């Protein structure tokens, strides 16, 4: 009896082993998809997908690739050009991009979304705002300008869409949200842009100068920079707010430059003020004949290094850094005057100083 049971168990184990060994072959024979699979209907796109799709289809034809020839790069050197993104501003063929994208004296070529390559000329640039305007030279067809929105009423958390040419990959859409507002961004002009938009929509090298859009497809900013130790996107990108762009660009189109409100001082580096424990703007030097000079402002003594005047208030508003002062001067505007409160040798005094164009 026991011998018979053992035999049955051995037979059962043998059968199971055989099934286990042959099963892959049987599965491939019976179930292998040797013909194209049947297509499963997808249904409609989700609402946010429809929004992104519509925005890209509407706006991308107006987004361009800007390439600036670097002097000495006519021998085919692939690194002899700088590039970025731009977009159509008006029906006259003006293109808005970043000042750092359009910098230099090299020839500029613009590739439209249609593939057409058009020469462009510099109309003007404002380094203090990292904005530049180009004008296309007789394009065959001109895409529609992007609709303009507002940045003053943006909210953290609302959707943001960026279209550009990261790493030269044209017509790329990235999505995200507005991560923060009222950031300050230093520019090559030695000032700071106020109220800058921060977004986590992926912005990489090559996106500079491209549009940042809201969910209605309206322009709310111009992408300008990323914060990244590696130089690639880490979810922190910045855009110049459209309220600033909409003020600066028409001025560039009209006159090729933007007046720079000032009083005629050179401010010391903020790091120096921090090292000295000074809460204000240290006047490093005063331009001879300027309103600051006529008002009696004094800079750092070149022979002793002694600090002269420190600006601590402008029109009774605290001045802790240079951007506080420049923001107030821009609010006052050319031809106006600003009341500066300064400290010298521990003593406060108030001076009435005219605001003039110091960018000439």
**Distances in whole angstroms, Cα of residue 219 to Cα of each of 161, 171, 239:** 10, 16, 11
Question: CA separation (Å) from 161 to 55, 133, 228, 355?
Answer: 8, 22, 20, 38
Residue among 208, 214, 323, 324 flagged as catalytic: 208
Q: Residue 74: pLDDT above 60?
A: no
Mean pLDDT of the chain: 89
Catalytic residue chosen out of the listed positions 60, 65, 83, 100? 100
Distance CA 22, CA 17 (A): 9
Give the pLDDT of residue 345. Answer: 85
Note the pLDDT of residue 101: 94
The residue annotated as part of the active site, out of 60, 65, 130, 151, is 130
Q: Give the C-alpha separation, 95 to 315, whole Å.
A: 38
Which pLDDT belongs to residue 187?
A: 72
Asked if residue 341 lies in contact with residue 350, where contact means CB atoms within 8 angstroms, the answer is yes
Interval 25-41: pLDDT, tens: 777 777 787 889 889 99
In this prediction, residue 72 carries a pLDDT of 62
Query: pLDDT: is 273 or 52 the higher one?
Result: 52
Could you give the domains of the chain? Answer: 48-136 (2.40.10.10), 159-255 (2.40.10.10), 261-357 (2.30.42.10)
Q: Taking residues 72-80, what's their average pLDDT?
A: 55
354 is catalytic: no
Q: How far apart are CA 248 and CA 131, in angstroms?
A: 8
pLDDT of 11 strictly over 80:
no
Asked if the model's pLDDT at residue 79 lies above 60, the reply is no
What pLDDT digit, counting tens, does each position of 269-304 carry? 877 888 888 889 999 999 999 999 999 999 998 888
Our CA angle for 148, 154, 158, nearest 5°, is 105
94 is annotated as an active-site residue? no
- 8-state DSSP, 44: S
**SS3 label, residue 36:** coil
DSSP per residue over 189-251, as a string?
TSSEEEEEEEE-S---TT-TT-EEE-TTS-EEEEEEEE--SSSS-SS-EEEEEHHHHHHHHHH
pLDDT tens track for 142-162: 999 999 999 999 999 999 999
| Exposure class string for 145-166: b at 16+ Cβ within 10 A, else e | bbeebebeebeeeebbbbbbbb
90 is catalytic: no
Mind listing the pLDDT tens digit for each residue in 197-232?
999 999 998 999 999 999 999 999 999 977 666 666
Instruction: Please tell me the predicted confidence (pLDDT) of residue 192.
Output: 76
Q: How confident is the model at residue 93 (pLDDT cuts 50, 70, 90)?
A: very high
Beta bridge partners of 122: 134
pTM: 0.79
Determine contact, residues 204/167, Cβ cutoff 8 Å. yes
Place of tokens 């107030």: 328
Summarize the confidence of residues 47-59 as an average pLDDT. 96
């Amino acid at each position: 009896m026991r011998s018979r049971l053992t035999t049955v168990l051995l037979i059962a184990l043998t059968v199971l082993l055989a099934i286990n060994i042959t099963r892959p072959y049987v599965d491939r024979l019976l179930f292998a998809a040797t013909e194209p699979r049947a297509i499963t209907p997808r249904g409609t796109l989700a609402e946010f997908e429809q929004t992104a799709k519509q925005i890209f289809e509407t706006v991308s034809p107006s987004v361009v690739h800007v390439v600036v020839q670097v002097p000495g790069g006519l021998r085919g050197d692939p690194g002899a050009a700088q590039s970025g993104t731009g977009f159509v501003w008006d029906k006259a063929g003006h293109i808005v991009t970043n000042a750092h994208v359009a910098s230099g004296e090299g020839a500029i070529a613009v590739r439209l979304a249609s593939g057409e390559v058009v020469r462009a000329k510099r109309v003007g640039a404002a380094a203090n705002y990292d904005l530049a305007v180009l004008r296309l030279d007789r394009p065959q067809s001109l895409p529609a300008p992007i609709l303009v929105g507002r940045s003053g009423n943006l909210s953290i958390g609302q959707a943001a869409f960026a279209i550009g040419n990261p790493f030269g990959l044209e017509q790329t859409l990235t999505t995200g949200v507005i991560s923060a507002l009222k950031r300050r961004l230093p520019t090559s002009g030695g000032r700071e842009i106020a109220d800058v938009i921060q977004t986590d929509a992926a912005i990489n090298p090559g996106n500079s100068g491209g549009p940042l859009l809201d969910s209605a497809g309206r322009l709310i900013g111009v992408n300008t920079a990323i914060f990244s130790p590696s130089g690639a996107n880490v979810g922190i990108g910045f855009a110049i707010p459209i309220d600033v762009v909409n003020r600066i660009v028409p001025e560039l189109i009209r006159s090729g430059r933007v007046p720079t409100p000032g009083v005629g001082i050179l401010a010391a580096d903020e790091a120096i003020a921090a090292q000295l424990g000074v809460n204000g703007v240290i006047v490093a030097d005063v331009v001879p004949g300027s309103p600051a000079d006529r008002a009696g402002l004094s800079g750092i003594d070149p022979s002793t290094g002694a600090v002269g005047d420190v600006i601590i208030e402008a029109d009774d508003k605290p001045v802790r850094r240079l951007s506080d002062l420049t923001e107030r001067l821009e609010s006052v505007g050319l031809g106006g005057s600003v009341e500066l409160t300064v400290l010298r040798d521990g003593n406060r005094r108030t001076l009435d100083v005219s605001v003039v164009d110091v960018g000439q």
